Each structure stands twice: as C-alpha cells, then as structure tokens.
Amino acid sequence: MYKKLILAAVLAVVTILAACGDDRSDKEVVVDAFNSMLEAESYESTSELDFELNGNMNDPMFDQASAMLNDFDFKVDQVYDANQQLQEAVIHFSGSMPPLTLDVEVPFLQNLETQTMYIQTDSIVENLGMFFPLPEEAAGKLLEINLDDFEGEAPEFDQHEMEQKMQQLLADFFEQKDESDFSSDGDEYTVSFNEDDFLYLVEGFMNEFNDLFTDEELAMVEQDLDEAVAELSEVMNIEQLDFSVVVDGDQLEQDSFVMDLLLEDPDSDESVKIYLAGNTTYSNFNEDVEFTIDPENEEILDFEELEQMMMDAMMQGF
C-alpha cells in the first residue's frame, strides 16, 4: 500500500513538473505538437519499424515466409530543410532469404523545387544486382531521376498546398476525437484508435485529394474499399491500435504507433496475428542540418543511361 502511494506521489510530481504553466488538455498538447512538427523549417529524424507475422495456417509455406519476414529490420534516417527545398532519406533494411543475407542501405536526395531525385547506387548494385540486370559499372554513381517525367497525365498539385491539406485533415481528426481517447503519462501522450477512426482518415484523404483522381478511379477505389472493409469486418479483431507522442513544450520529440490485429477465418480454424510497431525520433528542429549527398560533386548517371546498361547486361547474358 505504501509503495503504491509513493509511486503515485512520484508520478504526480513528474506530471506537474512536465506540465508546469500549461493548462492545456491532453488533446490540445497532441494537436499543438503535431502542428509544430509539420510547420518546422528543418529537422532530422530516425524511424524504425518492427513487424511480426504469426498464425495457425494450413499452408506449409506460411511458417517459412513469416519467419523470413519477421527476421527483417527496417530503418529510415531523414533530413529535411524547407529553405533549401531538400529532403534526404537513407533507407536501411536487412534480413535473410536463405541462402542469401541482405544488408541494403539506399540513400536518396529529393530536390522539392526541381522535382529531381538522386539515388546512390552502391548498395543497390551490391545487394540486388543478383536479382536484376544491374552491372558493376553502375556502382559508385548517383542516379538522377526527373520525377516530372513519370507523372504522365497525372494532375499537377502544389507540394506546400498538399501538406497544408494533410495537416488540416489530421488536425480535424484529432479535434473530432473524444477527450477520453487521449491520455498522458509525464511527457508521453497516447491516442487510442478504432476501426471508425481508420475509415475516417481514409475517407478524409479521398475527399481532400479527389482532384488527383478521375471520377472513374474514385468510384473504383471507393467500391474496392467498401468491399475490403466489409470482408475485413468479418474476420478482423483490433486488439490494439494506439498512437503516442513524446512532447517537450510544443516540440514533438518522438511519435510511435502500435497495431495488433487478429484475423480469424470463421469457416475454419485458421488465424493470422499481425503486429506492427513504428517509432520516429526527431531532432535539430529549425536548426542547421547537413546532407550527405552532394550532386554537384558526384558522378551523375541518368535514367536512360541506366536502362541502356541494364539492356546491355541482359544481351550479354546477365
């Protein structure tokens, strides 16, 4: 009894210190911190993803496939600078696909103003060259891709306007949730989700960005979504779906989510359990950030040259 009282007193002191001079509700803290992050001029972040797939399936390949997927590690390091209109990410993923072991690191830089992307090729050639006709001479170069060349007939949209729309969508989402869906422990705030929340965000996205789709595409997506949701509702049980943030004042230091789903076939004894957890840590808000990729001082390989290299490799028997 005394230990519980002491623990409660300590937690109360920590909470009071963390919220000193701040009479905002848990919901308001989450909304303000999220908006602050989206409005940042620059930041660095590291994201990690944990995936686990387990189940009772009659398919003999399921255990082998799930073991392979569960073995993979996935991480993304990101740097963003609004003034320079640059965004860099380094994607790391590693795991085993017996008899092969992969350890891939793909750095890429996007110039948001010119819609140009640069991808370092070394790790791709080293780890994936055996699966695709990627010759050795492609390594050590910086692949340049003009994203406008791949837009085709897709409608144009303004990057900043799209971010503002998404920000408003998420702010509206938090605003419509009940205060009871928000909780806090010190500087960590948790938001609970359910199936209705998921549908709200999907429908909100479709409504906000319907100018990116034709009427026929919208009708098709909505029909497929309705059918998928109806089928999932018969077999899916959401055991946990939470989003949490760690906040210092108005600054978002960390956000994370946990999704734990159980899929059960009502006509058999088969079931699949899916666990997905993500964590992102932020730093250097509105401070000077450094980029590792420098297109002006690296050898550039354009997409047409890469295609020709791959074709020549195929002609030579890969």
pLDDT at 103 over 60: yes
- Strand ranges (DSSP E) for the chain? 42-56, 73-81, 86-97, 100-111, 116-120, 142-146, 182-185, 188-192, 236-248, 251-264, 271-283, 300-302
On average, the pLDDT of the chain sits at 78
> pLDDT per residue over 132-181, tens digit each?
767 778 888 888 988 777 654 444 444 445 656 776 777 778 888 899 99
The pLDDT of residue 278: 93
pLDDT at 93 over 80: yes
The DSSP secondary-structure symbol of 34 reads H
Nearest 5°: CA angle at 250, between 247 and 251?
60
Does residue 295 have a cis peptide bond before it, meaning omega lies within 30 degrees of 0? no
The pLDDT of residue 254: 92
pLDDT at 118 over 90: yes
Q: What is the mean pLDDT of residues 22-27?
A: 78
pLDDT at 292 over 60: yes
> pLDDT per residue over 264-279, tens digit each?
887 788 889 999 999 9
The pLDDT of residue 74: 92
Query: Of residues 251 and 132, which shows the higher confidence score?
Result: 251
> pLDDT per residue over 188-209, tens digit each?
999 988 877 877 776 777 666 6
Q: What is the mean pLDDT of residues 7-33?
A: 56
Q: What is the mean pLDDT of residues 240-261?
A: 87
pLDDT at 69 over 60: yes
For 206, the 3-state DSSP assignment is: helix
Which helix H or strand E contains 306, and what residues bound it? Answer: helix 303-315
Q: What is the mean pLDDT of residues 244-267?
A: 87
User: Hey, what are 302's tokens?
Assistant: 């354009």
Percent of the chain whose pLDDT exceeds 70:
76
The pLDDT of residue 129: 65
pLDDT at 92 over 50: yes
